[in-house]
Amino acid sequence: MTDVSPALALRLRQQALLSDFGVEALRATELLPLLHRAVELCAEGMKAEFCKALEYSREQDCLLICAGVGWKDDVVGKAIIGADLASPAGYALKTGQPVISNHLQVETRFRTPQIMADHGIKRAINVLIANRDGHYGVLEVDDTREGKFEEADIAFMQGFANLLGGAIERQRGEARLKAALERQDLLSREMSHRVKNSLAVVAGFLALQARGSDDEKVKEALVDARTRVEAVAAVHDQLWRQPTLGAIDVSGFLEALCGKLQESARRNVIRCETVRLDIPADLAIPLGLFVNELVTNAIKYAYPDGEGEIRVTARPHEEGGLVIGVADDGAGLPDGFDPTQARSASLGMRIINNLGRQLGGPLTVAPDVKGAHFSLRMVLPS
């Protein structure tokens, strides 16, 4: 087998380093560590003493050494190089053309930046780091030893620069997407919060109207309307407090709602036993109103002579979906009263049945039990 020449071995090693870095660039989530890794591998592949990545500042028209290997401690993150055409790095940045300078001490095309003179740099090679958002900066390899950078070295370094440019572009795109999602989430929460506040104002108007009425039936109707508006406001209040708005944890949502209902039910104990399960946000409002209406009815009618317990449950159904239950051990339903029939049901029960249908209903009532036991199987999207 023929021995591989040193030049070919170097190019093969460069290709291996470039391949390995490509995997890292695809996985990278932070830019600065990736830049540091790039200059390390680039210096190794070029067998050079120094390598640096320079970030361009449009406002100041200069290049900051943001990552580097071989340089003194006060260089990386602090030293600045001019980005004008008289600077090798500036020329590569402004023209997009790679620059090879193998004899900086006698170079007539460019001036030697002071930082490079201080380190005794004799030769340098620069390539542009670019992406669709514009030029990020320059990747540069330097050395104090005599030698010669070649055209083939440009291909190796440009490969690193291109991978860096792609990674920068991806990370910036992900950052913009994250910011847009966060803004959308903020706007959704603000909207839900404002809806809740607006509904609270409406409830206040209804309360004022009820206090000003001398007709007991009108007053009762206005109080009921106010209670339902407050229920909608309470549901929106819980929605905007959730960690995410796309999906709602039914356990935390119902526990918070029951806690709110407990504040106005001093004589009763409201217990909430639910599983942790995410449901679509568009089901949260009808679910909250459904539970609110049934619990409110139980508070009003279940225990006319004293205090008692009201239980809210949510558990998985063996055939899929979620079973929601509201139960008490009180007086039970009036004789002949069928809450599932629209003609015989009260306005409140008609509302409950309509909400049940939105959740996938129908509403069912357990027979031959003490108190009133309501349940409904929610149909969840697969």
Strand order in 322-328's β-sheet?
269-274, 309-316, 322-328, 373-378, 364-365
H or E segment to which residue 207 belongs: helix 151-211
Its pTM stands at: 0.58
Of 55, 24, 64, 26, residue with least CA distance to 40: 24
Q: What is the pLDDT along the chain (382 residues), one digit of tens a residue?
A: 456 788 888 888 888 998 988 888 888 889 999 999 999 999 999 999 999 999 999 889 999 999 999 999 899 999 999 999 988 999 999 999 999 999 988 888 888 888 999 999 999 999 999 877 778 999 999 999 999 999 889 999 999 999 999 998 888 888 888 888 888 878 877 887 788 888 888 888 888 888 888 888 888 888 878 877 887 787 777 776 766 666 788 898 899 889 888 887 888 999 999 999 888 878 888 998 899 889 988 998 899 887 899 999 999 987 888 999 999 999 888 887 777 776 656 777 888 888 888 898 788 998 888 999 999 998 887 7
Contacts of residue 152, Cβ cutoff 8 Å, sequence gap at least 6: 11
